[in-house]
Amino acid sequence: MVDTNKNSLEHTLLEVLRDLNLKQAELNELSEQMKKLEEEVENYKSMYEDYKEAADDRWDRLKIYEENIIIKKLCSLQLKLKKKDKNKDSVEKEEVSYKRKYWELYTESEKNDFLNCQKKLENVKYKPLISLVIPVYNTDLRMLDELFYSITEQIYDKWEVCFANGSKDNIELNKKLKDYALHDKRVHYSLLEKNGGISYNTNEAFYLAAGEYIGMVDHDDLLAPNALAEVVLALNAKRDIEFLYSDQDKVDEKTTMRFGAFYKPFWSKELLYSGNYITHFSVLKKSIIEQVGLWDSSTDGAQDWDLFLKVTEKTEKVYAIPKILYHWRTAPTSTASSMDTKNYAAEAQIKCLQNHFNRMNYNAKVSFSRPKDLQIHVEWNNDLKGKISFIIWDEGGNQDLNSFIWFATESIGVELKEIIVVSTDSVRLESIKKKCKKLICESPNYAEGYNKGAEVAEGEILIFSIAQAPSVALNTYHELSVWCKHPEIGLVGPKVLTSQKVINSLGIVLNQEKPQALFGGQKDEVGRLTAFGTTGWYRNVNAMNWYCFAISREKYKEIGNFNIDLGLLSMIDYCIRVGRKYRNLINPFAVVQYNLNYSKLISEERSNEYKKILKDYRMPEVDKYYNPVLVEK
């Protein structure tokens, strides 16, 4: 039993040893595997360290790169911000500069007028929308900004601006107009596919307009702050006005000073035959512009003048505002500087005037008599042969009657119907060699002498002249006669010069205090533009001197004789009577000489009588063909 158990135990031990050996072998194998794993782990650790080092290096480089990008972006942003701030400062400085320069153009007195205008505007009921049409083409941006600023500073704010840009490739100008429109809903603009010229571009701006009235503005000029307000005040005072215009002056290219003020008469139809005296600031009813067909491209260079002629063919409801509301820029290419900058305009001027005469069925030809001075002459093709009665009032003295009569008959260019000489001196009458009617007048009163001559006259046209005022221009009497056939013209008078070629008068201004000789005492310089135009323009006047004038016999009979009881004032009385039915005209191409002192039109003793005449005829305080600023105090 013992042996059996022993064997069993040994066997068990052997089994155990064998198992242990197997386990040891497994352990050894596991140990080897562990070593391999440890080696792999070490390898992985080494690789990890390498990768980590590489990753860290890459990360560091990435961080540096990103930091550089951020820094660059920050720098760029800072530069942009600085540039933007600089531009903003520049814009703000420019705006301050515009504002400062603009308001420095006005005196304190003018600024007070603006305030008064603003107060008046508070009480008006009629407030129409006024559309300002402005064609632009490669416009100087500074000047455009200044113009736009002058619009935004208007006392009257019910306006809109309509730009038409004919320079589509001008990116800066396009951007400028877009900025205006973004900041002010009253701004509209059109980018044109082509530059069609001033009339075409103006029409395109007009198509954008919604206002009842249209204001015409050049792209580089300035409006006074009260420009639109004064228009609205005038429209409220007289609601049927269809066409308004104002006085104007000039502003230099740098906007540092105003000069060259131009004071205009109230509506003067024949003056418009000498030049576009209306120009700016002009506001017209939109409907009447549409009625005449807008601006005509065939008259570019005189397109506004052409429009004004067409409009005034349709309406006489024209009103002048005697205030400077517009500042015309004297840029190098502006007609404000010189007509030489726009030579093409001269041809357009003749064309638009000739077109007007053709439309009116007037038998007349328009031309430049003095191209250098752009003095326009209207030649009427009227048959006057045997139709003129020449009535001469002889005041006595040393004037050779025969010489006067000979020159008159020879210079007129046509056969006269008759010559009628009225004198207080029978001896002088008997000395006349030319065949004529001779009348004695007991009174030394020119009015009575003219009445006597007119009573026996048989011609269609009556020329009245004193023998002491000889013509000094070859066509004087012809120039007086041809205008008398015009159905709306009453008296036609000449330019009167002294023997020193100083102007005696270009008509008589009828102001309330005293009459005033127009251009009296000034040199006769046809090409010189004064504050009231030139001495070479046709002029509508309320009155003229008795020295020389003409009228149709039909109109003379309609008006009646001179009032002989008024002495020297008879002519003023007669002119007013004629002017109530017709327009009186001074023709600068007719010139006579007379040396009476231009400043002594009436004596102090007759001043009250003069005022009574004006009062009886209800004449306005300021002559309608003059300007209140120019009235002699």
Q: How far apart are CA 116 and CA 121, in angstroms?
A: 9
Q: How confident is the model at residue 164 (pLDDT cuts 50, 70, 90)?
A: very high
The pair of three-digit structure tokens given for residue 596, joined into one six-digit string: 């009476």
pLDDT > 90? residue 74: no
Q: Answer yes or no: are the C-beta atoms of 538 and 588 closer than 8 Å.
A: yes
Q: How far apart are CA 411 and CA 465, in angstroms?
A: 14
pLDDT > 60? residue 72: no
Calculate mean pLDDT across residues 577-586.
98
Please indicate whether residue 18 or residue 381 has the higher confidence score (pLDDT). 381
pLDDT > 90? residue 81: no
Calculate mean pLDDT across residues 191-203.
96
Other C-beta atoms closer than 10 Å to the C-beta of 16 total 10
Lowest mean pLDDT among 207-221, 290-304, 334-348: 334-348
Query: What's the pLDDT score for residue 233?
Result: 98
Lowest mean pLDDT among 72-81, 310-319, 491-500, 561-570: 72-81
Query: What's the pLDDT score for residue 514?
Result: 86
The pair of three-digit structure tokens given for residue 318, joined into one six-digit string: 């024209």
Q: How confident is the model at residue 77 (pLDDT cuts 50, 70, 90)?
A: low
Q: How confident is the model at residue 2 (pLDDT cuts 50, 70, 90)?
A: very low
pLDDT > 60? residue 91: no
Query: What's the pLDDT score for residue 146?
Result: 95
Q: How confident is the model at residue 109 (pLDDT cuts 50, 70, 90)?
A: very high
Count H helices, E strands: the chain? Answer: 16, 22
Q: How confident is the model at residue 600 (pLDDT cuts 50, 70, 90)?
A: low
pLDDT > 60? residue 344: yes
326-335: pLDDT as tens digits: 999 987 655 5
Q: How far apart are CA 153 and CA 149, in angstroms?
A: 6
Lowest mean pLDDT among 74-83, 301-310, 618-627: 74-83
* Percentage with pLDDT > 70 across the chain: 83
pLDDT > 80? residue 398: no
Q: Answer yes or no: are the C-beta atoms of 251 and 631 closer than 8 Å.
A: no
Q: How confident is the model at residue 28 (pLDDT cuts 50, 70, 90)?
A: confident
SS (H, E, C) 271-326: HHHCCCCCCCCEEEEHHHHHHCCCCCHHHCCCHHHHHHHHHHHHCCCEEEEEEEEE
Domains of the chain plus CATH, in order, are 110-297+315-339 (3.90.550.10), 382-630 (3.90.550.10)
Lowest mean pLDDT among 201-215, 298-312, 367-381, 566-580: 367-381
pLDDT > 70? residue 244: yes
pLDDT > 60? residue 82: no
* Average pLDDT across the chain, whole number: 88
Q: How far apart are CA 274 and CA 499, in angstroms?
A: 26
pLDDT > 90? residue 389: yes
Q: How confident is the model at residue 42 (pLDDT cuts 50, 70, 90)?
A: confident
Query: What's the pLDDT score for residue 1?
Result: 46
Q: How far apart are CA 511 and CA 265, in angstroms?
A: 13
Q: How far apart are CA 630 and CA 386, in angstroms?
A: 43
Query: What's the pLDDT score for residue 183?
Result: 94
The DSSP letter of residue 186 is: T
Closest to 308 measured CA to CA, from 247, 349, 367, 361: 349
